[in-house]
Amino acid sequence: MLDKSYTSKTQQLPEINPERLGVIESYGAELDELDPIGTAVRGLDLAADKPPAKVINALEQVMAQRGFLVFKSECALDPDDFLRASTWWGGKQLHSTHGVHPATPKGNRHLFRLSNDQRYGIPGVGPQWHNDGSFNTDTFSHAGYHIVRPAEHGGGTWFAHQGAAYAVLEPDRQAYWKRLSSVNSASGVVHPAVHRHPISGQQSLWLHLGMTGAVIEKHPESDQFRLLEAEELTALCREYNDVLNAGFENGYAIAYEYQANDCIFVDNLAVAHRASPEAHLPADQQGLRVLHRSTVRGVKDFKPHFGLPQRLDIAGPSPLGEGVWKAGGLGFRWDEHIAMQN
């Protein structure tokens, strides 16, 4: 039986560093911490000239600490300006691996157009907790979400801070998670289940609940490895789902509802996200929702620990004997009743 004491543990994120705040405010922007995670930015026009490097760096530091930034505007943002602002962060270059919907403006391959009506965008994407680009060796450093049309009756995105989620686990569970590495079901790329965030320095959980084909455990007292069995992997995925969901009550997750013209940039190594259940309700019930997503190249490879290779042949036979070893666009199904589209 897993210890679920984390369900009652609060974990408050620290306030924004005054020095970084001063740099940003000197440029004419205002920051407003959202409750309990994320930060709203006002007075910075994403369509204007790129801010100085010191301002970008301060914003990126805040994003790493708070998880994401919401740029608030009274005016609609042109898709080209959205994509240009996406390259301010992380790897500074768009890295787009998705399909292009016919309704995408100018057929721009860097815009991933999502909707709850298939005539206007790709429906049903991202219903479980995940980080974008887990099939890449470096993952995406950041992702952008520009609401083109918010639905009249809600349907936003959930975000959970993975550093705070790690912190609420009991020490024995932290030690267990540190011994784990996940294998992406589509590409065979291997990532650590716990990593130290490159900017904030926080130990952070990491698992994709829609594209995990296997999880490898290192033996605690030797250099031996094994695959988790189906029952163990089911329990792990449920634990991850539970600990992120616990953040809504305990101060490290938010169900963000988009307002007109909102543009969100996410530190993809700091927060997991998923579409809210309402986001996938039919347009005739919820109102039409259209969202553009961008993804940014990683800064460096997100390598597993313990000398494990960065990539395994997930389509071939298991190199570690018995246990879950599943290839395909969707990963191991840890709950038969959930949607798992990516």
Taking only the tens place, the pLDDT of each residue in 135-179 is 999 999 999 999 999 999 999 999 999 999 999 999 999 999 999
In this prediction, residue 2 has a pLDDT band, given cuts at 50, 70 and 90, of low
Q: Is 210 in contact with 131 (CB distance < 8 Å)?
A: no
Question: What's the burial of 92, exposed, middle or buried (CB within 10 Å: 0-12/13-18/19+)?
Answer: middle
Taking only the tens place, the pLDDT of each residue in 59-100 is 999 999 999 999 999 999 999 999 999 999 999 999 999 999
* Token reading at 116: 């709850």
- Radius of gyration from C-alpha coordinates of the chain: 20
- 112 Cα distance to chain centroid: 15
Output the pLDDT for position 208.
98
Q: How far is CA 108 from CA 101, 102, 113, 123, 230, in A?
A: 9, 10, 10, 18, 41
Question: Can you name the residues that pair with 163 across neighbouring β-strands?
Answer: none
E-only strand ranges, 176-259: 180-184, 190-192, 194-196, 203-205, 212-218, 225-227, 253-256
Q: How many domains does the structure of the chain reveal?
A: 1
DSSP 166-190: HHTS-HHHHHHHHTEEEEETTT-BE
Domain that holds residue 155: 1-342
Output the pLDDT for position 9.
84
* Alpha-carbon span 252 to 118, nearest angstrom: 33
Q: Is 86 in contact with 265 (CB distance < 8 Å)?
A: yes
* CATH number for position 72: 3.60.130.10
Taking only the tens place, the pLDDT of each residue in 102-134 is 999 999 999 999 999 999 999 999 999 999 999
- Say what the pTM is: 0.96
Q: Is 326 in contact with 214 (CB distance < 8 Å)?
A: yes
Q: How far is CA 40 from CA 63, 86, 115, 166, in A?
A: 10, 16, 24, 25
In this prediction, residue 6 has a pLDDT band, given cuts at 50, 70 and 90, of confident
Taking only the tens place, the pLDDT of each residue in 221-272 is 999 999 999 999 999 999 999 999 999 999 999 999 999 999 999 999 999 9
> Is residue 1 scored above 50 in pLDDT?
no
